[in-house]
């Protein structure tokens, strides 16, 4: 059986690793390069070019070169290059195919089993797309795991004391995740995760490039813009280890060459607004985990962008990381002064390679080469279904440990209903329309009076974080099992803002839910009262009073606007209706009891 390798399919660079003799290691290409640029060029004639060669061609033919395809995973773009089979999945498959060839050349044997990593905040469509890309490249994808989870394995966190909690700050080329993990009885559990699937080093490069373009008079063609973007990335990398860098682009235009000094201070002024966007996600993850930054033992930096000194300073500041200062000339007794006031900032792991190394460790665990250190990921957003009244009923809450399975029983809302629409949702809002629709399907069942049908709906998320929905009619046993596919195009920013929106609209959403639930109960009360009046009006002394109470409830329901109405007045009107229909309820009960006794022969 072949080895199971680990793959970090990155936005700007990708890497592949394997465990040999108990040690994880990166598999370099024939030239010794450990990272593969995630770039694919589609020439007008010939086969696609992947990696370093594609990146070189990018400045000459940028319109036929795809970069950062990972940012488009899970969307419905047909092609990222006009006239070519270059969907995000197909581009990613070419990168994964190149990594496979690289691994087989390095190992001297066939390799077709892999663990592939994704950002923790990738939604179901993006995970499905990643798995499909792996399969198209000839891989048997054994597991999809979160990048921060893989980084935790690479750092050897299984050696931490029981109950230790760490944060993994993962800022790559195009995505950002902050995950909080805890070690419990040898098991890593992700307590919370938060992030942005469209934020990373690419945005810093774009900001530098935009600044450089202001130094150029007139418009630049596509080649000129590509050269500036390449120079921006080179300057950013250089300024991680130096204070100043001279950017030189001869003949950027036929009559113009660009030469400009670019300092670390210039870089940090451009990068700071972008990096500050990660602060909100850090705070939200801590809030979700019910923790303070001082509860953490360490903060691990992962992703090439974390090499930037500004990133390290900001993260240390946000998490109140301990700073040690050497004080000479004093003798101090005891050990209290050695204790850190906050978490340690862990920069010891190679930020570009940690994720691939961790994925290879997971692969070795799956193949039995290494003893298992279990990692339990969590769902980044709640999953549920739409219920009558347009509300979302949560089946699997946000931050539930996966694999996960949960279900609930539902019934029909109207008489004679013969099918139930199962509308699968993802999000944190109370109203279905405010959440992300993952898919819909219908389950047919035997016609039944209102409340007579019983349909069980079960959600199951596998270890890859991929959702499967089952709906079963408990009367007939008829069922449907639907794997949720990446057929829905939803923008990444909608996903990343979902939690913030739920907080912002929390009171408004809860008011809407209370109104909808009260309105449904009011509708039931009105229907029951009308049915009773139709059957027994002539036997009641207060039929007119009941009519007036019904009219009062209906008036309040009709005056509601966008799930908002006078809730106290509605509750009072329904309570009044309940009170005046007590004689009617007693009469209905008496008639039902009388009919039952006659059927049993007790009464003539």
Would you name the residues annotated as active-site residues? 8, 70, 147, 170
- Cβ contacts of 49 within 8 Å, gap of 6 or more: 40, 41, 43, 57
Backbone angles phi, psi at 540, to 5 degrees: -105, 140
> Quick one: which of 320, 9, 373 has its CA closest to 157?
373
Bridge partners of 49?
41
Bridge partners of 486?
none
d(CA 43, CA 54): 10
Q: SS3 for 114?
A: strand
> Quick one: which of 442, 448, 444, 445 has its CA closest to 416?
448
Please compute, for residue 400, the number of CA atoms within 13 A of its CA located in the half-sphere on the CB side: 20
Q: Which residue has tokens 């991680």? A: 240
Spatial contact of 205 and 229, defined as CB atoms under 8 Å apart: yes
- Cβ contacts of 9 within 8 Å, gap of 6 or more: 38, 70, 92, 95, 96, 116, 117, 118, 130, 133
Tokens of 601: 């022969």
Q: SS3 for 212?
A: helix
Phi-psi region of 72 (alpha: psi -120 to 50; beta: other; left: phi over 0): alpha
Spatial contact of 96 and 139, defined as CB atoms under 8 Å apart: yes
- Cβ contacts of 303 within 8 Å, gap of 6 or more: 170, 171, 172, 173, 176, 200, 201, 351, 352
Handedness of CA 293, 161, 142, 68 (dihedral sign): positive
d(CA 544, CA 151): 72
d(CA 193, CA 177): 7
Spatial contact of 229 and 265, defined as CB atoms under 8 Å apart: no
> Quick one: which of 495, 499, 465, 497 has its CA closest to 483?
465
């Amino acid at each position: 059986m072949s080895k199971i390798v680990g793959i970090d399919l990155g936005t700007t660079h990708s890497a592949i690793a394997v465990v040999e003799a108990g040690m994880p290691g990166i598999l370099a290409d024939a030239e010794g390069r450990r990272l593969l640029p995630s770039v694919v060029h589609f020439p007008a004639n010939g086969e696609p070019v992947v990696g370093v060669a594609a990146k070189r061609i990018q400045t000459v033919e940028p319109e036929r070169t795809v970069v950062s395809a990972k940012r488009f995973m899970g969307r419905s773009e047909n092609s990222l290059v006009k006239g070519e089979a270059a969907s995000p999945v197909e581009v990613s498959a070419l990168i994964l195919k190149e990594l496979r060839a690289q691994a087989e050349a390095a190992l001297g044997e066939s390799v077709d089993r892999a663990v592939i990593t994704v950002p923790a905040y990738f939604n179901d469509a993006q995970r499905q797309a990643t798995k499909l890309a792996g399969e198209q490249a000839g891989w048997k994808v054994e597991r999809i795991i979160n990048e921060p989870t893989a980084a935790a394995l690479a750092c050897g966190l299984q050696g931490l004391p029981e109950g230790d909690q760490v944060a993994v700050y993962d800022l790559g080329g195009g995505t950002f995740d902050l995950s909080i993990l805890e070690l419990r009885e040898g098991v890593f559990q992700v307590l919370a995760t938060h992030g942005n699937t469209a934020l990373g080093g690419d945005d810093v490069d774009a900001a530098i490039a935009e600044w450089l373009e202001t130094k150029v008079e007139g418009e630049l063609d596509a080649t000129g813009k590509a050269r500036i973007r390449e120079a921006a990335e080179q300057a950013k990398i250089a300024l991680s280890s130096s204070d100043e860098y001279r950017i030189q682009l001869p003949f950027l235009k036929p009559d113009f060459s660009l030469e400009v000094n670019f300092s670390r201070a210039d870089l940090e002024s451009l990068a700071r607004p972008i990096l500050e966007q990660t602060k909100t996600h850090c705070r939200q993850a801590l809030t979700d985990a019910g923790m303070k930054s001082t509860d953490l033992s360490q903060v691990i930096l992962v992703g090439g962008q974390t090499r930037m000194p500004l990133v390290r300073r900001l993260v240390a500041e946000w998490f109140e990381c301990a700073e040690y200062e050497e004080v000479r000339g004093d003798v101090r007794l005891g050990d209290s002064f050695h204790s850190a006031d906050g978490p340690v900032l862990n920069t010891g792991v190679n930020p570009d390679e940690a994720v691939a190394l961790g994925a290879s460790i997971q692969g070795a665990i799956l193949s039995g080469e290494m003893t298992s250190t279990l990692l339990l990921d969590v769902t980044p957003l709640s999953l549920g279904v739409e219920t009558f009244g347009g509300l979302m009923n949560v089946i699997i809450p946000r931050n539930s440990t996966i694999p996960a399975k949960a279900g609930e029983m539902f019934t029909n809302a109207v008489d004679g209903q013969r099918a139930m629409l199962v509308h699968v949702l993802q999000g944190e809002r109370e109203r279905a329309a405010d959440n992300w629709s993952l898919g819909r399907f219908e389950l047919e069942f035997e016609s039944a009076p209102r409340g007579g049908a019983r349909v069980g709906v079960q959600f199951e998320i596998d270890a890859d974080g991929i959702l499967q929905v089952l709906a079963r009619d408990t009367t007939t046993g008829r069922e449907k099992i639907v794997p949720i596919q990446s057929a829905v195009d939803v923008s990444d920013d909608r996903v990343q803002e979902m939690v913030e929106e739920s907080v912002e609209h929390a009171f408004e959403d809860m008011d809407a839910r209370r109104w909808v639930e009260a309105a449904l109960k009011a509708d039931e009360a009105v229907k029951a009262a009308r049915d009773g009046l139709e059957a027994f009006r002539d036997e009641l002394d207060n039929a007119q009073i009941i009519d007036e109470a019904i009219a009062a409830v209906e008036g309040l329901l009709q005056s509601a606007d966008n799930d908002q109405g006078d809730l106290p007045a509605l509750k009072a009107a329904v309570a009044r209706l309940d009170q005046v229909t007590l004689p009617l309820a007693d009469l209905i009960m008496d008639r039902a009891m009388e009919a039952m006794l006659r059927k049993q022969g007790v009464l003539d």
